[in-house]
Amino acid sequence: MPLAKLQVRLLASTPNPLSLIYASFRQCYSPGYVGELWPRLLAGEVSLEEQARFVSDILESGHHSPIEHVSFTFAVEGISRALTHQLVRHRLASYSQQSQRYVNESEFEYVLPPQIAEIPEARALFEHFMAEAAGTYGRLRELLQERGRKGVKANEDARFVLPQAAESKIVITMNCRSLLHFFALRCCERAQWEIRAMADQMLAICRRELPVVFQTFGPRCEALGYCPEGERFTCGRYPRKQ
Q: How many CB atoms lie within 10 A of CB 99?
A: 12
The strand order across the sheet containing 7-13 reads 7-13, 71-80, 167-175, 94-97
- CA–CA gap between residue 97 and residue 59 (Å, rounded): 33
CB 10 within 8 A of CB 72: yes
- The per-type count for the chain, helices as H runs and strands as E runs, is 11, 4
- Which string of b and e fits 133-143 if b means at least 16 CB within 10 Å? bbeebeebbee
CB 155 within 8 A of CB 141: yes
Task: Give the residue from 175, 176, 172 showing the smallest Cα distance to 215.
Answer: 176
DSSP state, 227?
B
DSSP state, 61?
T
Q: How many CB atoms lie within 10 A of CB 58?
A: 20
Positions annotated as catalytic residues are: 186
